[in-house]
Amino acid sequence: MWPFGKSAQARLEEALAEQSLTAPLGLRVEVNKKVAQVSGTVPNERYGNLISAIATGIHGIDGVDLSGIVVAEPAVGPAADVAPATGRMAAAKGVAAKFGKPESAPKELDASALAKQVHDRLRADPQLGDDPVDVLQRGSTVVLRGAVDSEAEVGRAKALAAAVPGVTGVDVTHLQVVADAAKLNVTDDDGDIVYTVASGDTLSHIALRYYGSAGRGSYMQIAEANGIADPNKIRVGQKLKIPGTAKGPEATLG
C-alpha cells in the first residue's frame, strides 16, 4: 500500500525516471536527514530548478542538496550558484535552489512548476498539511499519490490542485483513503516511516495498516528491519521502522 511501501529515496528515483527531461540523465539519489542529495551530470544549470521542484514534491523530503550535480557546459561568465572552476551546483538544503533567472529558463524546464504550486497549497491546508502525499506532474496534469484520511479529503485535494492556474487535469488514482493517515505519517532522517507501538498492537496489525496485508511476508519484513527475532514479542513504546522496498508494496504482501 503506497505511500508506506516505498522509501522517500525510492519514490524520488521513480519520479525522476518518470520525468522525460531527467530520465535519461541517470541521476543518483540519497536521502539523509530528510535532505535529498542528488548527483550526476545535467546539460545546464537551469536543471537545478527542475530537480529541486521534483524532489520537494516527494513526501518525507524537506530539502535538496545539489552540490553533487555537475553542469556539462557551465555558462560563460558569472553565474549565480555555479562554481566556475568545477561547474558544480551549490547545495540547496531546506529550500529549492535558484539557477539563472526563471524568465530565461526554457519552457520545458518549467515541467514541475504546477506540481510545486499544488504541493505548497496542500502543505498549507489545515486538513491536508500532515497527510503523506507526493505531488508530481505530467504535462499540465498533476498527479497526487499517497494517503488521506477520508473521501472528503480526496475531493478537497483534487479541488485545490485543480484550482491552480494552468492545471488541466488531476490524477488521484493512487490517492488512497487510510484511517489516521496523518498519524501514521512519522518519518525518520531517511524519510522512512517510523511507528510507535501502542497497547494491543501486534506486528500483523501494524503490517495491515501500512501494507494492506497482515500476512507473514509483510509482518516479517518489519521484524527483520528492526532486528526482532520473535515477531510475537514487541513492547509498548517501541519505535519500529516500516521498511520500504524498491519493488513497491506488492513485494511485502503475503
pLDDT for the residue 82: 40
Average pLDDT over residues 174-203: 83
Domain boundary among 66, 89, 109: 109
Cα 92 to Cα 101: distance, rounded to the nearest angstrom:
16
pLDDT-based confidence at 199, cuts 50/70/90?
A: very high
Q: Is residue 125 part of a domain?
A: no
Q: Is residue 128 part of a domain?
A: no
Instruction: Give the closest residue to 115 by CA, choosing from 139, 96, 99, 93.
Output: 139
| pTM > 0.75: yes or no | no
For residue 180, count CB atoms less than 10 angstroms from its CB and return exposed for 0-12, middle for 13-18, buried for 19 or more. exposed
What digits encode the pLDDT tens for the residues 126-173?
A: 999 989 899 999 999 999 998 898 999 999 999 999 999 999 999 999
% of the chain surpassing 90 pLDDT: 51
Q: Is residue 216 part of a domain?
A: yes
Cα 224 to Cα 230: distance, rounded to the nearest angstrom:
10
Q: Is residue 54 part of a domain?
A: yes
pLDDT for the residue 102: 38
What digits encode the pLDDT tens for the residues 222-232?
A: 999 999 999 99
pLDDT-based confidence at 249, cuts 50/70/90?
A: very low
pLDDT-based confidence at 91, cuts 50/70/90?
A: very low
pLDDT for the residue 231: 94
Contact by Cβ (8 Å): 118, 165: no
Q: Is residue 217 part of a domain?
A: yes
Q: Higher pLDDT residue, 166 or 248?
A: 166
Instruction: Give the closest residue to 211 by CA, choosing from 183, 180, 182, 248.
Output: 248
**Where in the sequence is the domain holding 228, given as residue range(s)?**
193-247
Average pLDDT over residues 107-129: 87
Domain boundary among 109, 133, 154: 109
Domains identified in the chain, total number? 2
pLDDT beyond 80 at 248: no
Q: Is residue 93 part of a domain?
A: yes
pLDDT for the residue 4: 58
pLDDT for the residue 54: 94
Domain boundary among 77, 109, 141: 109
Q: Higher pLDDT residue, 236 or 104?
A: 236
Q: Higher pLDDT residue, 69 or 181?
A: 69
**Among the ranges given (103-107, 198-202, 213-217), the one the predictor scored with the smallest mean pLDDT:** 103-107
Q: Is residue 167 part of a domain?
A: no
**CATH number of the domain within which 232 lies:** 3.10.350.10
Q: Is residue 221 part of a domain?
A: yes
pLDDT for the residue 73: 65
